[in-house]
Amino acid sequence: GQQLNQSPQSMFIQEGEDVSMNCTSSSIFNTWLWYKQDPGEGPVLLIALYKAGELTSNGRLTAQFGITRKDSFLNISASIPSDVGIYFCAGRMRFGAGTRLTVKP
């Protein structure tokens, strides 16, 4: 089946730094979704992308839908401690394995 490959698996950054993570697929997607999951909670949708090349922002978050429709990236600018969590990309009800973000104050 379709596989979504997320990288990196984990990141340790200092508060205030920018973060970038990405997701690639072996098949084409019509939609890319980015979620954040906190411990003990379900994933919460951050950004939805619907068109190839689309660049969308949500506060300090920016995500882009790759031109090939097989990849997407998520950037977080000026990270803060509450950005800690696991970030998932998803498409067609398939999820990547997640990127675990740790922010040191």
Interface ranges with another protein (CB under 8 A): 4, 6, 30-31, 33, 40-45, 48, 50, 88, 90, 92-98
Instruction: Compute the radius of gyration of the chain from its Cα atoms.
Output: 13
| Cβ-count burial 13-41 (b if 16+ within 10 Å, e if not) | eeeeeebebbbbbeeebeebbbbbbeeee
CB closer to another protein, 4 vs 76: 4
Q: Output 85 or 96, the one with its CB closest to another protein.
A: 96
Q: How far is the CB of 78 from another protein (least distance, A)?
A: 26
CA distance 27 to 77: 29
Q: Please report how close the Cβ of residue 17 comes to another protein at its closest, in angstroms.
A: 25
Decide: 5 and 95 in contact? Cβ < 8 Å: no
Distance in Å, CB of 15 to another protein, minimum: 25
Q: What is the closest distance, in whole angstroms, from the C-beta atom of residue 91 to another protein in the complex?
A: 8
The DSSP H or E segment spanning 48 is strand 44-49
Nearer to another protein, 42 or 59 (CB): 42
